[in-house]
Amino acid sequence: MTIKAERDPLNGITTLSGESMVFHCNHYNRFLQLVIEDCHYIDFRKILIESAAEVAFRQLRRHFEENPECDRTRVAAEIYRFCGFGNLPFDTLPEAAPSEFRFLESASHYGMALRLNYGKRSWPGEFFDLGFTVGACSAIYGVPYSGAMQENAISLGGESTGIRVFRDDGHAWLFDLPGVTMPALPEGAGEVPSRHLGGHIDEEGIIAAVGGLPLLGDESGLIPAFGVHLTRHYADYYNLISFRFESELKRAMSTHRYLAEMLTYEYPVLFQYKKFSHLQGEALSRTLLIEAGHICGFNTMGGIMRSDAWYQLVVPMIRSKGDWIHGVVACINALGWGIWRVHELVENERLVLRAWHPYESLGHLRAFGQSDHPVDYLFAGIGASLMNLLYTADITEKPDLTLEFYYHANRSNSSFWAKQTKCVAQGDPFSEIVVERGCL
Look up the domain containing 396 and give its range.
Answer: 203-437
**Judgement on whether residues 271 and 137 belong to the same structural domain of the protein:** no
Residue 187 maps to a domain = no
| Residue 403: predicted pLDDT | 84
Domain boundary among 141, 176, 211: 176
222: domain CATH number? 3.30.1380.20
**Judgement on whether residues 359 and 272 belong to the same structural domain of the protein:** yes
Residue 312 maps to a domain = yes
Burial category of 419 from C-beta neighbours within 10 Å (exposed 0-12, middle 13-18, buried 19 and up)? middle
Number of other residues whose CB lies within 10 A of the CB of residue 365 = 22
**Judgement on whether residues 164 and 114 belong to the same structural domain of the protein:** yes
**Judgement on whether residues 132 and 219 belong to the same structural domain of the protein:** no
Residue 259 maps to a domain = yes
DSSP H or E stretch at residue 259: helix 259-266
| Residue 4: predicted pLDDT | 87
| Residue 277: predicted pLDDT | 43
Q: Are 14 and 336 in contact (CB under 8 A)?
A: yes
**Judgement on whether residues 208 and 172 belong to the same structural domain of the protein:** no
221 conformational bin, left if phi > 0, alpha if psi -120 to 50, beta if neither: left
Residue 282 maps to a domain = yes
| Residue 315: predicted pLDDT | 96
Residue 10 maps to a domain = no
Q: Are 115 and 133 in contact (CB under 8 A)?
A: no
Opening angle at CA 91, ends 89 and 93, nearest 5: 95
| Residue 329: predicted pLDDT | 97
| Residue 201: predicted pLDDT | 94
Domain boundary among 124, 159, 176: 176
**Judgement on whether residues 55 and 169 belong to the same structural domain of the protein:** yes
Residue 224 maps to a domain = yes
Residue 336 maps to a domain = yes
Report the alpha-carbon distance of residue 71 to residue 157 in Å, rounded.
33
**Judgement on whether residues 155 and 213 belong to the same structural domain of the protein:** no
**Judgement on whether residues 106 and 147 belong to the same structural domain of the protein:** yes
pLDDT of the chain, 440 residues: tens digit per residue: 578 899 999 999 999 999 999 999 999 999 999 889 888 788 999 999 999 999 999 999 999 999 999 999 999 999 999 999 999 999 999 999 999 999 999 999 999 999 987 667 889 999 999 999 999 999 999 999 999 998 889 999 999 999 999 999 999 999 999 988 889 898 889 999 998 888 899 999 999 999 888 899 999 999 999 989 999 999 999 999 999 999 998 888 778 766 766 666 666 556 555 443 444 455 778 888 998 999 999 999 999 999 999 999 999 999 999 999 999 999 999 999 999 999 999 999 999 999 999 999 999 999 999 999 999 999 999 999 999 999 998 999 999 988 888 888 887 778 899 999 999 999 999 999 999 997 55
pTM, whole model, 2 decimals?
A: 0.93
Report the alpha-carbon distance of residue 359 to residue 130 in Å, rounded.
24
Number of domains forming the structure of the chain? 2
| Residue 280: predicted pLDDT | 45
Which candidate, 101, 100, 99, 97, places its Cα nearest to that of 89?
Answer: 101
Residue 2 maps to a domain = no
**Judgement on whether residues 366 and 219 belong to the same structural domain of the protein:** yes
Considering all CA atoms of the chain, what is the largest pairwise distance in Å, rounded to the nearest integer? 63
| Residue 198: predicted pLDDT | 86
**Judgement on whether residues 75 and 222 belong to the same structural domain of the protein:** no
| Residue 269: predicted pLDDT | 59
| Residue 109: predicted pLDDT | 98
| Residue 278: predicted pLDDT | 42
**Judgement on whether residues 228 and 315 belong to the same structural domain of the protein:** yes
**Judgement on whether residues 153 and 256 belong to the same structural domain of the protein:** no
